[in-house]
Amino acid sequence: MSDLTIGIDIGGTSIRAAVVDDRGESMDTLRAATPATAQALEHCLDRLVGELGSRWSVSGVGLAIAGFLTRDRSTVRFAPHLPWREARVAEEMSARVGLPVFAEHDANAAAVAEWRFGAAGHGQNSLVLAIGTGIGAGLVFDGRLYRGSYGVAPELGHIVIVPDGRPCSCGKRGCWERYCSGTALVDTVVELLADAEWGRSKLADESAADPGSVTGRRIAAAANEGDPLALAAFASFASYLGQGLAMIADVFDPDLIVIAGGVGRASGLYLDDAREQYAAMLTGAGYRTLARIRGTQLGESAGMIGAAEVARTMLSDGATATRTAGDAQLARAVLRD
Ligand SMILES: [Zn+2]
């Protein structure tokens, strides 16, 4: 059996696929825009696997999917930004491409990758937060992925952190990801602009001239240049990040928290402030051991690398494409060293 597997991270706007080895190294990477229909999406995935499979000898495929999967990962129940509904994605793809295929929630895949190869370095209770458009979360709890009773845990982006706060696409108000994400940074800038004068801010001038030009990425670049408006937006972000982490730590008491995702790369702008807020808001502050809070080592490749690792581990455990992954098998995916 080849040591190489293909990992594919299927996001709402783009798809990244790579051939990955058993040390988490990507050998050959492809990208594509995410098609809008299920048929076009499946055709695109088959084409990526066909192309990579023609260049490398691979033994299986792992898919990191941004959506709700059943606990056994056999079925994608719903994915807000993908066309699949109650779809047996892995089994059907396996029949088309002739390789074993395994599906995993994207944040769980990222948590597996950070745990095996990255910043989470085999922590016993580690939380990986993927902060981008929203917040995705993967939790390694007592050395294994924690999924909850029905496969949806941990859905941390939608815990309410500001009662009656900003509206969220989930239907609630004040969700954590509405204050602590790339898109939230943009909303914070709009609110700060309405609240005060920002005479020396280039970002404020740009926003006045063309409000649509302000993105999370632009705010991070402005903050790196010392722009006061951008720095104030990151101070707000850091404060909500620290507060949310303190709430989560009161439930799970993790030893390690890794901040990944698109905003994870800008961790130098907020991580120290978030740590301070976290330490101050924690119940029993000063009398308990603080979790280490780190930036990602794998960046936006974590989901893709983790998907490949899930496939490799499932294959080495003797699973077949049509046999769904049991908890014990996934536990070994995280426990194996
Ligand atoms: Zn929400």
The predicted-structure confidence for 123-172, as pLDDT tens digits, reads as follows 789 999 989 888 999 998 887 888 888 877 788 999 999 999 999 988 99
CA of 309 to the centre of ligand 1 (A): 30
Q: What is the mean pLDDT of residues 49-76?
A: 94
248/207 Cα distance (integer angstroms): 34
Is the distance from CB of 321 to CB of 34 less than 8 angstroms? no
Is the distance from CB of 256 to CB of 127 less than 8 angstroms? yes
244/175 Cα distance (integer angstroms): 10
Cα atoms in the 13 Å half-sphere on the side-chain side of 74: 10
Domains (ranges, CATH) in the chain? 5-111+300-335 (3.30.420.40), 122-296 (3.30.420.40)
Going by their DSSP bridges, the two strands 256-260 and 292-295 should be labelled as parallel
CA of 159 to the centre of ligand 1 (A): 7
Output the pLDDT for position 331. Answer: 44
How buried is 274 (Cβ within 10 angstroms: 0-12 exposed, 13-18 middle, 19+ buried)? buried
Per-residue exposure over 285-307, b if at least 16 CB sit within 10 Å of its own CB, e if not: eeeeeebbbbbbbbebbbbbbbb
CA of 207 to the centre of ligand 1 (A): 26
For the cut 70, the answer to whether the pLDDT of residue 237 exceeds it is: yes
* Cα–Cα distance list, 190 to 174, 198, 222 (Å): 16, 12, 15
233/174 Cα distance (integer angstroms): 17
Listed in sequence order, the residues at least 6 apart from 135 whose beta carbon sits closer than 8 Å to its beta carbon are 129, 156, 157, 176, 177, 180, 181, 261
- The mean pLDDT of the chain is 89
Output the pLDDT for position 336. Answer: 43
Listed in sequence order, the residues at least 6 apart from 66 whose beta carbon sits closer than 8 Å to its beta carbon are 10, 11, 12, 79, 80, 81, 82, 105, 106, 136
CA of 166 to the centre of ligand 1 (A): 9
CA of 160 to the centre of ligand 1 (A): 8
A 10 A CB-CB count for 196 gives 12
CA of 133 to the centre of ligand 1 (A): 12
Strand partners, 63: 8, 103
For the cut 70, the answer to whether the pLDDT of residue 332 exceeds it is: no
CA of 172 to the centre of ligand 1 (A): 5
The residue type of 157 is: G
A 10 A CB-CB count for 1 gives 11
- Alpha helices by DSSP H, the chain: 38-55, 89-97, 106-117, 182-195, 202-209, 216-224, 228-252, 271-281, 302-316, 327-335
For the cut 80, the answer to whether the pLDDT of residue 318 exceeds it is: no
pTM: predicted TM-score of the whole model, two decimal places = 0.83
| pLDDT tens per residue across span 157-170 | 999 999 999 999 88
CA of 155 to the centre of ligand 1 (A): 10
The residue type of 191 is: E
- Residue that has been written with the tokens 């779809």 in this structure: 87
For the cut 70, the answer to whether the pLDDT of residue 225 exceeds it is: yes
CA of 49 to the centre of ligand 1 (A): 34
3-state helix, strand, coil in the chain (%, to 5): 45, 20, 35
* Cα–Cα distance list, 3 to 57, 65, 308 (Å): 9, 23, 11
Strand partners, 28: 19
Which one-letter DSSP state was computed for residue 20? E
CA of 101 to the centre of ligand 1 (A): 31
Q: What is the mean pLDDT of residues 295-321?
A: 86
